[in-house]
Chain A
Amino acid sequence: MLRAVLAALLLLGAVAQAADRLTLGVFAFRPKPLMIERYQPLAEYLSERLGGTRVVLEVLEQQELEEAVAAHRVDLVMTNPSHYLELRSHNSLSGALATVVSSESGQAVSSLGGCIIVRAGRGDITDLRDLKGRRVAIAGPRYLGGYQAQAFELMQVGIRVPDELDLLVVGRHDAVVEAVLDGRADAGFIRTGIIESLVAEGRLDASQLVVLNPQALAGYPFAVSTRLYPEWPFVALPHVDRSTVRRISTALLGLEASHPAARAAGIAGFSPPLDYLPVETLARSLRLPPFDHAPPFSWRDVWTRYANFIIAFGAVSALVFGLLVVLSRRNRQLAQSVAALVEAQAALQRIAWHDALTGLPNRTLLADRLRQDMRRVRRNQQFLVLAYIDLDGFKAVNDTHGHEVGDRVLVEIARRMRAVLRDVDTVARLGGDEFAAIFTDLAEASLSAPLIERLLATIAAPVDIDGLSLQVSGSIGVSYYPQHGDIEAEQLLRQADHAMYQAKLSGRNRCCVFECEVQPEVGVGVTAG
């Protein structure tokens, strides 16, 4: 029986102890003894208002506080807003029960900000931009009013923090002020209210410091260099039961500014919780905890985010590819067209430079070749002979047998003439029954004599057309090149033409050389045939 009673008492005691004692963890943003002095009355006030439950104060450094929250060794927490966000993301803390209202010279404020201080008289640092590359003392990178708020403002003017600052981490706000005063740092970041507290404690002469980038904020009792953020939240961990949470909230909101607990803590009480979204936005834009890790990356995210871009890019790529295909096809067609054109041009040239009936070069091509040959033989100190050929008796063939038969005679004679000439020679049809031949690259002019003889013979040979044996002959006039003095191709041709008339007058089927009397032996030899 006694044992049963004792066991029941023990059990009751254990439960009672859990419910009777709540630990309030407060982040030590100032030296621990000072913090205990300030917040012990608040813990006592809460104990008093909660009846049987005792609230025990624990002032903890940031790391200690995190471990205590993770292990549920604390039940209630007061810390700075950005630390609260970080704790919340790791420990599923509830929303804030209340927000601290701080007080200074009769002004109640629920917002804090950051202060940027330099030693008075430093003319080289007057603007936020002057801080680039400077040595800046901070309490620690996880202080909202002591680092993050300032970092955000510096980012707005284009200074990357922490990369473009030389940070000196000194642990606490008081130490930051000391570092700035003794010259170990060019500037310092502290939260709002620190300067005013130190002055009130008689530990600082305000004229020793200058606050950079002062903000014009009506009625705000502290010097401030940044925009404002909600003050510290008062948070209950999720394991604290709801009725206790309700009683704590009531006690906090009911704390008058004049109450000794409020006065000791240097606050004006608590207000209903403010929106901590500005702090979250700040932490996100600075990539501070808990937003310091990029979310895992997947193709699905890429698609979700850039679907429009990807679709547009794909469409443009497809369009470009399609256009390239069209372009290459057009290019091929163009190449074919060019080949056809070249061919057509060659055909046109052939037509332009050749006689349509016999296929021999025409007068134009003859003149061109004559000029080329003249240049060459002159250069090579050789000779060329130009023969002007007129058929004898061709008109009679035409009149007797018709133009068609006449044409076939011309074609056959043209073929024969080409056959007896050397490769270097040219024979052309000048029109009607007139032809011309160039014998070129001759070492002696006289070497042309056998060629002309063969020409006369082949012209005079009978031509068979559909059983008819037809016969014509040729009268040939010859001129030589080079001669004494300069002479043009046209002139040379005229000379040969003239000689041809001499041959006609002399009895046809013969050759006559221009200025026959000078070189009679050629004419005599040929005349014999």
Chain B
Amino acid sequence: MLRRDFLLRLAALAASPAVAGACASDKPLTVGIHPWPGYEPLYLARAFGWLADGVQLREGHAAGASVAALQAGEIDAAALTLDEVLAVRASGVALTVVLVFDSSVGADMVMARPSIRTLADIAGRRIAVERGAVGEVVLQKLLEAAGLEEADVTVLDIAPDRQLDAWRAGEVDLAIGYEPTSSLLGREGARRLFDSRQFPGVIFDVLAVRSERLSSRRDAIEALLVGHFRALAHLRVNREDALRRIAAWRGLSFDEMERSFAGLNLPDAAGNLSFLDMTGARGILPAARALNVLMLRTGRLKVADELSGLIDPSFLPRNGEAQ
């Protein structure tokens, strides 16, 4: 159902590095995770042995698995998009964002038939988007920018992994998705009409922790973040080594991997501090307010999230500890 599960499905799913059996002795911090470029530093950290012993990644194919495990109380934390966090909170599971993996600056995009040259041209067209996922946010922003209502277009619930077939069958005029689908559509002649660069600071991928476990798992959460930032530094200064490793375990080429990262900002510890700004002037809180409006409009939220306890920057490493 949800975003960000696509790379893995496309990749020749190598013998999955088994969801490690429970390390029963001292109950590790379990983190739900699924393939998405922004989350790759955590996989990198695990590959280099930089994850603390008290941290266990629980891999799923899609965010849906993490959401279900959170709701069942099986995991302590999960890597999710911010709108998914709001949806889970609305379902009664209190979550707090302690880390921003990435913000989307172009990674989420709208591919269109060549005949569609301007935003005004989308009126009356058929748009493929995955309902109940981050694509809905892009759709709302697209309609806003075009000055249209949802009734002015035909919205089809088609997830990115099925968009190429729908495109080839001529069923859609526009497709809302992300890499590598977007490049595949580009080969079919589609061109990029609109992307998240036009509304930066709305789509975030974050680490959300069950709020009631924040204090009891503080040490493990801090250790997890230290491992993440160490891997992020490796990705930054030794990009070729990092990208070739990631590409190898996703079954993608080096160039495809580079493209997957192209539309993402990956904030370091200092960048995270400004995203997790408690004053609400910038970062996650304004984004969540904007998502409240969008998600109420589309019915993903029945009532607005009051956003209390949504972020907690106190787990971020203090200066200099990230390396």
Contacts and interface: CB of A to CB of B under 8 A. Distances in A.
A215 interface: yes
Contacts of B234: 278
A227 B253 contact: no
Contact of A109 (B238, B240, B257): B240
Contact of A278 (B238, B245, B249, B252): B238
Interface string B227-243: 00000001001101101
Given A218-B252, A218-B253, A218-B257, A277 B244 contact: no
Interface in A231-255: none
Nearest to A218: B247
Contact of B241 (A156, A217, A219, A277): A217
A219 B238 contact: no
Given A110-B240, A277-B237, A219 B245 contact: no
A189 interface: no
A111 B240 contact: yes
A216 interface: yes
A515 to B, nearest CB: 91
Nearest to B247: A218
A170 interface: no
A353 interface: no
A227 B241 contact: yes
Contacts of A111: 238, 240-241
B248 interface: yes
B254 interface: yes
A291 interface: no
B245 A275 contact: no
A215 B246 CA distance: 12
A110 B98 CA distance: 36
Contact of A219 (B49, B237, B247): B247
Interface residues of B, number: 18
A275 B236 CA distance: 9
A228 interface: yes
B245 to A, nearest CB: 6
Interface string A96-111: 0000000000000111
Interface centre among B244, B252, B254 (most CB of A within 10 A): B244
Interface string A403-432: 000000000000000000000000000000
Contacts of B238: 111, 227-230, 275, 278
A216 B245 contact: yes
Contacts of A229: 238, 241
Contacts, number: 50
A217 B244 contact: yes
Contacts of B252: 218
Interface in A171-227: 215-220, 227
B49 A156 contact: yes
A343 B252 CA distance: 94
Contact of B254 (A113, A219, A274, A275): A219
Interface in B238-272: 238, 240-241, 243-249, 252-255, 257
B139 to A, nearest CB: 33
B322 to A, nearest CB: 14
B237 A216 contact: no
B244 A228 contact: yes
A230 B240 CA distance: 8
A228 B245 CA distance: 10
A216 B252 CA distance: 12
Contacts of B247: 217-219
Given A156-B49, A218-B248, A219-B254, A275 B241 contact: no
Chain A CB within 10 A, most for which of B240, B246, B247, B253:
B240
Q: Which of A228, A274, A275 has the most CB of B within 10 A?
A: A228
Contacts of B253: 218-219
A322 B55 CA distance: 43
Contacts of B241: 111, 113, 217, 227-229, 278
Name, among B249, B254, B257, the residue most crowded by chain A CB atoms within 10 Å (CB to CB).
Answer: B254
A113 B240 CA distance: 11
B237 A217 contact: no
Contacts of B237: 275, 277-278
A155 to B, nearest CB: 12
A110 B245 CA distance: 15
B244 A220 contact: yes
A110 B239 CA distance: 10
B49 A217 contact: no
Contact of B245 (A109, A215, A274, A277): A215
Contacts of B49: 156
Contacts of A215: 245
Given A218-B257, A219-B254, A228 B248 contact: no
B238 to A, nearest CB: 5
Contacts of B240: 109-111, 228, 230, 274
A216 B43 CA distance: 14
A98 to B, nearest CB: 15
A274 B236 CA distance: 11
A125 B89 CA distance: 53
Contacts of A274: 240
Contacts of A227: 238, 241
A216 B254 contact: no
Q: Which of A110, A215, A220 has the most CB of B within 10 A?
A: A220
B192 to A, nearest CB: 25
A218 B258 CA distance: 12
Nearest to B49: A156
B319 to A, nearest CB: 16
Interface in B247-304: 247-249, 252-255, 257
Nearest to B257: A218
A466 B246 CA distance: 121
A291 to B, nearest CB: 16
Contact of B244 (A156, A218, A275): A218
B130 to A, nearest CB: 27
B298 to A, nearest CB: 38
Nearest to B236: A275
A219 B253 CA distance: 6
A254 to B, nearest CB: 22
Nearest to A277: B237
B229 to A, nearest CB: 15
Contacts of B257: 218
A178 B234 CA distance: 35
Given A156-B49, A229-B238, 14 more contacts: A111-B238, A215-B245, A218-B244, A218-B245, A218-B246, A218-B248, A218-B252, A219-B244, A219-B254, A227-B238, A227-B241, A229-B241, A230-B240, A278-B234
15 contacts: A110-B240, A156-B49, A215-B245, A216-B248, A217-B247, A217-B248, A218-B247, A218-B253, A218-B254, A219-B254, A219-B255, A228-B241, A230-B240, A275-B237, A278-B241
Interface of B: 49, 234, 237-238, 240-241, 243-249, 252-255, 257
8 pairs of A and B residues whose beta carbons are closest in the complex: A218-B247, A217-B244, A228-B241, A216-B248, A219-B254, A218-B248, A111-B240, A278-B238
